[in-house]
Structures are given as C-alpha cells and as structure tokens.
C-alpha cells in the first residue's frame, strides 16, 4: 500500500489538527530571582532580558505572570555576603528574604503556586549546596538543615518546596518534618535527577553562588549516566516526592523520556540558565531566530515527556503562543 505521509502536513489547519504536543501557559514554572531593596530591577549580565527583583517588583511580576495564565513560580533569593555562613543560618530565618517573599506573593496573588528552592548554596560562604567540612560536603547534617529550611518555607506559606541539593535521603526527611508539623498540604517537587552541569553558569552569576572551591560532582550526577537517574528518581518517589524533576533539560531529553515511562508522577524539567543564555546569545548574533528557537526547544522538552517546564522563557513563550 502506498502511504503518502505528507498528506498530514499539507496545510496549517491539518498540521494543527494532528499536532501531538501543544504547549500551554500552565505548563510553565517561572523562576524568580529576588534581592533586597526597593524598586530594584537589575538585569543579570549573563542572562540578558532576565532580572533580579526586589520584593515590591517581585510581587508586580507575580501578578503579571498570573494574569498571563502562568500558575507557578519558583523562588530563588540572593543572600548578602554578611549573612552567608557554613550552617545555613539565614536559610531558616523566619524573617529571611525567601520567607518574606513567599508571604508577599501569597498575599498578593493567593492562588499562585509558590515553589521554593531548597539548598544551601545561596546562603553558603563556600557556595556549596550543603555544609562543608574540610573538602567534604557533609550529607546528613545538611539534610537536617534542609528539612528545617523546608519547614520554614512551609510556615511562610509555600505550596511546594523544591530541594535542588542532591543529598541522599532529603526527601524522606523533609516529608517527615512536614508531617510532624502538620504541613500535610505542602508538596515536594524533587530535583531528583540533577546533573553536575556547566549549563548552570549564568544562574550562579545571578545569585553570586558559584562554589568557592572544587565543583559539585560529589553530589550532582555525572552526565555520563542514565541508569543512575532512574535509581535517584525511584528513590525520591518512594521517599514521598509529589513531582520529580530532570535538570538540565535539552541535553537530557533521553533522561526525561525514560523517567516519564517509569514513574506515575508529574515529571518536570528545568530548562536552565545556560540553555536560556545560549539562545539569547545566538539570537543577538543574528544566528538563530529567537522566537522559533524558544518554541521548538520548549515543545521538544514537553514531547520528551515533561509535564511541567521551569523556564526563563515562560513569559515569552506564553506571548508567542498567543
């Protein structure tokens, strides 16, 4: 039998009718970078078109995102140097910038799903995601602080905590701590397969959180490995994660798709800072059409199996989808 596959590509209407993957505004999680001060809107030099906002402007931004149909934000704060230490003191401060940000956003846009980054790097004098002892990033003592940090986010009103640290056992510890304190409606979006990646470079500029020594390879995963991503993710599911995540996204589409096949939870993917900056840079040079690159990239991440995408292009994408 002769098959004419091009029939289904004949016109825009036919192509729309048979399109398998359609992006929508509620697919996106918008990361927000928050800094102290008032009326601050600072462009991040390695992320052109993306900003750090003070609380007042963060609230404005959250309102705008909500009005566009974007239903979740993922919060990151830039901690001042004086407040950084090796214990995560500021991370659990009930009046810290993160805790104030959660409250302000929930007050202004109560329905917005507020997700918070849980890891020590923005608060660490060493720029590491955990407590440092000599050259080592100590697991269990870090997990204990991450659980207290999650609790303080929950107490401030966070809907989901999002541990991005890759310590062993943190999902169970966080879940137990939330339960023990009656926060049984707070979800956990686990960065379950997070790779040690050069694509986080611009993010570390945004928060001034680059590691002071060494790298993150003793806790984040080796990009040579795929089975390990399954192991990590299945453990997080058992420990009580509500949403699992693969990070970065574009160089890890195979990982997204194999995790999607194996778990019965929503799968998210983090289209990270370096992936954003690559498109921006190529577009600035006139080498790529930015708008087309955004939609093709995000559609491919969803096609691979991501139900949710954390992306710095959330607003642009919604505008482009019309």
HSE of 261, CA atoms in CB hemisphere, 13 A = 8
* Count of residues near ligand PBG by CB under 6 A: 12
- Answer for the pair 44, 205: CB distance below 8 angstroms, yes or no: yes
- Name the residue among 133, 199, 128, 140 with its Cα closest to residue 170: 140
Rg (CA), the chain: 20
CA distance from start to end of the chain: 40
Please give the residue whose beta carbon sits closest to ligand PBG in the complex.
203
List the one residue from 164, 192, 233, 268 that touches ligand PBG (CB under 6 A): 164
By rule CB under 6 A, what string of x and - marks binding of each residue 213-242 to ligand PBG? ---x--------------------------
List the one residue from 55, 92, 113, 119 that touches ligand PBG (CB under 6 A): 119
Q: What angle do CA 247, 272, 34 make, to 5 degrees?
A: 115
- Answer for the pair 305, 267: CB distance below 8 angstroms, yes or no: yes
**Both tokens of residue 262?**
């194996």
Instruction: Map the footprint of ligand PBG across residues 168-207, applying CB under 6 A.
Output: 200, 203-204
Looking at beta carbons only, is 232 or 322 nearer to ligand PBG?
232
Q: How far is the CB of 272 from ligand PBG (least distance, A)?
A: 4
Looking at beta carbons only, is 165 or 232 nearer to ligand PBG?
165
List the one residue from 27, 121, 239, 316 that touches ligand PBG (CB under 6 A): 121
Instruction: Map the footprint of ligand PBG across residues 251-290, applying CB under 6 A.
Output: 272-273
Q: How far is the CB of 223 from ligand PBG (least distance, A)?
A: 14
Please pick, among 247, 260, 302, 315, the residue that the annotation labels catalytic. 247
Residue 116 is a binding residue for ligand PBG (CB under 6 A): no
**Both tokens of residue 124?**
């660490």
- Rounded Cα distance, 59 and 56, in Å: 5
Looking at beta carbons only, is 216 or 280 nearer to ligand PBG?
216
41 assigned to active site: no
Task: Say which residue the tokens 């693969």 belong to.
Answer: 246
List the one residue from 117, 159, 232, 236 that touches ligand PBG (CB under 6 A): 117
Q: What is 201-249 written as a DSSP string?
A: HHHHHHHT---SSS-STTTSBPTT-SHHHHHHHHHHHHHT-SEEEEESS
**Both tokens of residue 301?**
């991440």
3-class state of residue 281 by DSSP: helix
List the one residue from 27, 61, 129, 239 that touches ligand PBG (CB under 6 A): 129
194 assigned to active site: yes
Number of CB atoms found within 10 A of residue 212's CB? 11
Looking at beta carbons only, is 84 or 179 nearer to ligand PBG?
84
307 contact partners, CB below 8 Å, separation of at least 6: 27, 266, 267, 268
- Rounded Cα distance, 275 and 272, in Å: 5
Please pick, among 71, 84, 106, 194, the residue that the annotation labels catalytic. 194
Q: How far is the CB of 204 from ligand PBG (least distance, A)?
A: 6
Q: Which residues sit at the interface with ligand PBG, rule CB under 6 A?
A: 117, 119, 121, 129, 164-165, 200, 203-204, 216, 272-273
Which active-site residues does the annotation give?
Answer: 194, 247
């Amino acid at each position: 039998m002769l098959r004419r596959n091009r029939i289904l590509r004949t016109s825009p209407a036919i192509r729309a009718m048979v399109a398998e993957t359609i992006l929508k505004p509620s697919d996106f999680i918008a990361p927000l970078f928050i800094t102290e001060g008032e009326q601050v809107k600072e462009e991040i030099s390695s992320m052109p078109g993306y900003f750090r906002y003070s609380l007042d402007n963060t609230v404005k931004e959250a309102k705008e995102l909500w009005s566009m149909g974007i239903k979740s934000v993922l919060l990151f704060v830039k901690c001042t140097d004086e407040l950084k230490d090796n214990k995560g003191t500021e991370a659990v401060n009930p009046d810290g910038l993160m805790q104030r940000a959660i409250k302000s956003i929930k007050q202004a846009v109560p329905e917005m799903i507020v997700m918070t980054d849980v890891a020590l790097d923005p608060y660490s004098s060493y720029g590491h995601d955990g407590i440092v002892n000599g050259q080592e990033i100590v697991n269990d003592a870090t997990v204990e602080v991450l659980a207290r940090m999650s609790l303080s986010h929950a107490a401030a009103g966070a809907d989901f905590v999002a541990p991005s640290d890759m310590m062993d056992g943190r999902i169970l510890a966080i879940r137990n701590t939330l339960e023990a304190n009656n926060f049984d409606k707070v979800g956990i979006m686990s960065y379950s397969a997070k790779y040690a990646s050069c694509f986080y470079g611009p993010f570390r500029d945004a928060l001034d959180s680059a590691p002071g020594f060494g790298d993150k390879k003793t806790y984040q995963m080796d990009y040579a490995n795929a089975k390990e991503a399954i192991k990590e993710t299945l453990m997080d599911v058992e420990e009580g994660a509500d949403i699992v995540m693969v990070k970065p996204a574009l160089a890890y589409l195979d990982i997204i798709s194999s995790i999607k096949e194996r778990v019965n939870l929503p799968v998210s993917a983090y289209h990270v800072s370096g992936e954003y900056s690559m498109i921006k840079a190529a577009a600035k040079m006139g080498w790529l059409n930015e708008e087309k690159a955004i939609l093709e990239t995000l559609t491919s991440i969803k096609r691979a199996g991501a139900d949710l995408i954390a992306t710095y292009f959330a607003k642009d994408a919604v505008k482009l989808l019309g």
